[in-house]
Structure 1
Amino acid sequence: MNLVKLDDDLEVFHKNSGETRALYQEIFVDRCYERAGQNLKSGDVVFDVGANIGFATLYLHRVCTGLRFFCFEPLPTVSNILRANLEKFNIDALVIEAAASDAAGLASLTYYPNNTVMSGLHSNPAVDREVTRCYLINSGFDEESIAYFLEKKFQTATVECETLCLSDVIEQRGIDRIDLLKIDVEKNERQVLAGITPNHWPRIRCLCVEVHDIDDGLSAVLDLLKQRGFMVEVFQNFLLKDTGLYDVLATRR
């Protein structure tokens, strides 16, 4: 497990240097969770679903100390790094080594060891390579660099993991409110939302969801959130133009 220094005040445990620096740019420099976290206060509860090595949790912890986190990360190699970062920064967090979904059980997860953030229950190497290609083109990389990156980053493995429903965690842990539900789960966001029972939706104050617009996925997520009483806003990072990836912020009316 290696450390990388990202700025004068931030040194983290990580797995892949390039991936870690891209996460740092997105979360700490571009501040993609700034609006989602702006109303949090000490004592609030945050569910970080798809926590990876913990950057969203770490960013929100810096924005507001005293938060209580539940971090969901199914990959053992990644969750070990997540735990190390949470301990390093003394964050009040419980790591749940499982994939949130619409049913409890076991599932096969496609794991990219050199590109862990795109690993998931519905990962598709061909689709994921094209999304990454668009991202790199939008970032200004040349064709030779893109070809090298894609060849290196999409070696695959299959990992068996536990799946669970968020409502099961809410019940088992006696959680009476979720002040922010962040979801970034690589095409499994609709299943995660389906794993929340109707009686638990009123406990959720705000959501920030990465949505893959596959099979009208964006419209389906927006319709569901509106039905549950949320106002919704849709954003797209300019680096994700032509990828079908969007961020949805949902807040109570």
Structure 2
Amino acid sequence: MSATATPMDTTSPFGTYPAEGLVRFAWALADRHDLSKGLRKRIRSFVGRVFKGPYDTEADGLKFRIYPAQNYDDRKILAKGRLPEKAEHKLLKPYLTAGTVFVDVGANIGSYSLFAASCGAEVLAVEANPETAAKLAFNLKANGLTSVKLAEVAIGDKEGTLSLWSEPSNCGFATLVEDLTTGEWAGDWSPKEVSVRPLADVVAEAGLGRIDVLKVDVEGFEDRVVLPFLKATDRGQWPRVIMLETNCRPHWAEDCTSRLEALGYRAAGSTNDNTVFELPA
């Protein structure tokens, strides 16, 4: 699916690009899982050429400017009319009360960050892809969430630069792990150099004294986000809750789930793609 001609508009007011009925119908058809995978892929390719976006829409009371030809989360929002991570949000919601400090590493277009902010949490959204970060910034502004902090940086074990690989049909599935771009997820990947900093430094710069809930979704680089942070901070500053994407765990350099359990975290719930770990009081 090519999305090279899709314009990005982060200046026009929300509502400039209404998602009309035909657009919603087309993307709902492209998302029908009762169709064969091959047929669904062909439909999605056609719909992506005709209905690239951008479109302005609401999901679960939150406003998004979306580009469905470019991103999985955008397609799901348009096809389903709701946020894509329903099961994950259900697991996190009991921890997201007023004043909770929520750090979202791999924030994409903001479905987690906006959800957490709507629950009253203080949010730091971290997104390494410059184009995706610009879209996220627009979505934050459209929802009046001026208090949400945004860090446009990748997180790793040390400061420097790395190649961030992205694929034009799913820019939210960007990775610092080059090996992930072959095999199961082979596609039209291309790299760009991005700045990398340890999470502890980014959190301190944002003026946060603690993290209550940490969500990490960085396509096979989760271990290099979480474990160096825990090593660099006192146990009393560790997040009470960590949601970790686990569907790319074969690409980890270290088994993050085993290390978390060895450090005292316990699995408190899981979905197909993510596990929530909680540190007992």
CA–CA separation in structure 2 for the residues paired with 1:120 and 1:27: 22
1:79–1:7 Cα change, 3 Å: closer
The structure number with the bigger radius of gyration is 2
Map of 1:180 onto structure 2: 213
- Aligned residue for 2:95, secondary structure, equals coil
CA–CA separation in structure 2 for the residues paired with 1:128 and 1:94: 34
Map of 2:88 onto structure 1: 32
Match of 1:49 among 90, 105, 114: 105
Match of 2:154 among 99, 102, 118: 99
Deviations 1:125-173 (A, max 9, x none): 323427xxxxxxxxxxxxxxxxxxxxxxx32221110001111123334
Write the letter of the residue equivalent to 2:278: T
- Aligned residue for 2:87, secondary structure, equals coil
User: Higher relative contact order at CA 8 Å, sep ≥6: structure 1 or structure 2?
Assistant: 1
Superposed, 1:89-128 pairs within 5 Å as: 89-91=143-145, 92-123=147-178, 124-128=180-184
2:227/2:256 contact within 8 Å kept: no
- Aligned residue for 1:118, secondary structure, equals coil
- Over the matched positions of the two proteins, sequence identity in percent amounts to 22
Deviations 1:188-239 (A, max 9, x none): 0010013303434432111101022316x598222221233221246342xx
Map of 2:189 onto structure 1: 156
1:12–1:164 Cα change, 3 Å: same
Moved more, 86-95 or 22-31: 22-31
CA–CA separation in structure 1 for the residues paired with 2:200 and 2:59: 38
RMSD: 2.6
Is residue 220 of structure 2 the alignment partner of residue 166 of structure 1?
no
1:167/1:200 contact within 8 Å kept: no
1:101/1:194 contact within 8 Å kept: no
CA–CA separation in structure 2 for the residues paired with 1:105 and 1:43: 32
- TM-score normalised per structure 2: 0.69
Is residue 115 of structure 2 the alignment partner of residue 59 of structure 1?
yes
CA–CA separation in structure 2 for the residues paired with 1:194 and 1:249: 15
Write the letter of the residue equivalent to 1:71: A
Is residue 233 of structure 2 the alignment partner of residue 199 of structure 1?
yes
1:29–1:73 Cα change, 3 Å: closer
Map of 1:214 onto structure 2: 250
2:167/2:173 contact within 8 Å kept: yes
1:9–1:112 Cα change, 3 Å: same
Compare the two structures and name the one with the higher strand fraction. 1
1:46–1:8 Cα change, 3 Å: closer
1:47/1:180 contact within 8 Å kept: yes
Deviations 1:99-123 (A, max 9, x none): 1111110111111122112211014
Write the letter of the residue equivalent to 2:274: D
- Aligned residue for 2:250, secondary structure, equals coil
CA–CA separation in structure 2 for the residues paired with 1:178 and 1:50: 16
CA–CA separation in structure 2 for the residues paired with 1:185 and 1:201: 24
Map of 1:227 onto structure 2: 262
Map of 1:134 onto structure 2: none
